[in-house]
Structures are given as structure tokens and as C-alpha cells.
Amino acid sequence: MRLLRFTPEHRVDLPTPEVRSCVSIEEALAARRSVRRFGTGALTIVEIGQLLWAAQGRVGLCGHRTAPSAGATYPLELYLVVGSVERLLAGLYVYSAHRHDLTLLHAGDLRQPVAAAALDQDWIATASAVLIVAADYGRTEAVYGSRGKRYVHLEAGHVAQNVYLQAVRLGLSTTEVGAFRDRAIKKTLELPAAHDVIVILPIGRIA
């Protein structure tokens, strides 16, 4: 399988997301489950692009996102731990909603270290990819003060539900993981000081 070519900045464009499907919102809600066992098989770049768009993609001409954000402060950052994705190197990537692309930050499979930081939940390492939802609380607290932290958590919940429903439509499995050591996961991913992990979403094929 030929790997995608990166730009000099180690970026890779994602396919244009689909905005119509044959699965209704009601069907997706009825089928949504938290799954901790995954089947074999790599995810495709199309599936990854669709999941990231569902989580934080831009919609319309005004720069709005697929998930609501208090005051449009958009405090969330999406990181993707790639283990088995067609045409992508294993490594840690960050998603840009503005460009709908991924930037490679670190090469190498980090699924097992992430699982270790998540209280040794080894099943996480069997996912094809792991979506990391992190937040820069300061973006929202600058507008809403200390109450902004609550709004950030609400936004992260919207993002997670979007990923769940998009996964159903794609025939994939995921679950929310909130049990992890904050310092350990941040150190493992070498995140910026202002970015705190809120939730982890391992993603894989249905077993």
C-alpha cells in the first residue's frame, strides 16, 4: 500500500466529507453502543476523514463546526493516534478543522503507551486508531470565566456523541474512555502545556 505524500509541513489532506447517507439519525441512535472489542482490518483514510469531520469539521460559510461551542470559542483540539490506517504512517497527528487535514507530529505506534496511561486498559491498543479530545480551557474561560470549564466539557460531550453516531453509519465501533492518568497521557503524547485531555475514543472495525 502506497503511503500518502506529506507536504513539507508533514500535512495530509483528508477526503471531502459526505453530508448525506442512507442511515437515518434515528437508526444511528438506536444502534449506538459502547464497544471494547474490535475486529481486524485497517481503517481507510475516507473513514478517518469522515469521523474527524463529524467531531469538529467546519460547516457552512461562517466557519461553524459540527458540534456547538459556547461563544464559538472552539477550545477543543483533536489528536489522532494512528496504528492501522490505510496509507497513513503510524504516529500521532493533529486535526485542522479549518483545512480538514492532518499534521504528523510524531512517527511511531503509540497505542500501547496510550493504553498504559489509561490505567492499563490493554483493549485500547487493539483499536485501529485512537481519537484524543483535548481542550485549551483558556479560550473559553477568557469569555466566560471559571464557568467556561463547564461549557468546554459540554462541548466535548457533543463531539463524542457525533463520533459515536458517525461510527455507526460507517459500520465501525468506539467507546468513550475517561479513565486515564492526566499527566501520563499528556506526557505520552507530548502535548502542549495548555492542552488537557478530556476523553479518549478508540475506534476500530466491528468484531
Residue for grid cell 453530508: 19
Using 50, 70 and 90 to split pLDDT, how confident is the model at 63? confident
Q: Read off the pTM.
A: 0.93
The span from the CA of 62 to the CA of 95, in Å, is 19
The residues that bridge with 92 in the sheet, in sequence order, are 81, 106
User: How do residues 143-198 score in pLDDT, each as one tens digit?
Assistant: 999 999 999 999 999 999 999 999 999 999 999 999 999 999 999 999 999 999 99
Amino acid at 29: L
Locus of grid cell 470565566: 145
Going by C-alpha positions, the residue among 138, 31, 42 that lies closest to residue 90 is 42
Average pLDDT over residues 82-105: 96
List, for residues 114-140, the tens digit of each pLDDT value. 999 999 999 999 999 999 999 999 999
Rounded to whole angstroms, how far apart are CA atoms 89 and 73? Answer: 32
Task: Determine the pLDDT at residue 62.
Answer: 83
Domains of the chain: 11-206 (3.40.109.10)
The fraction of the chain above a pLDDT of 90, given in percent, is: 93
Report the pLDDT value the prediction gives residue 9, as an integer from 0 to 100.
Answer: 64
Distance between CA 72 and CA 40 in Å, rounded? 38
Which triple of cell numbers denotes residue 170?
460507517
End-to-end CA distance of the chain: 23
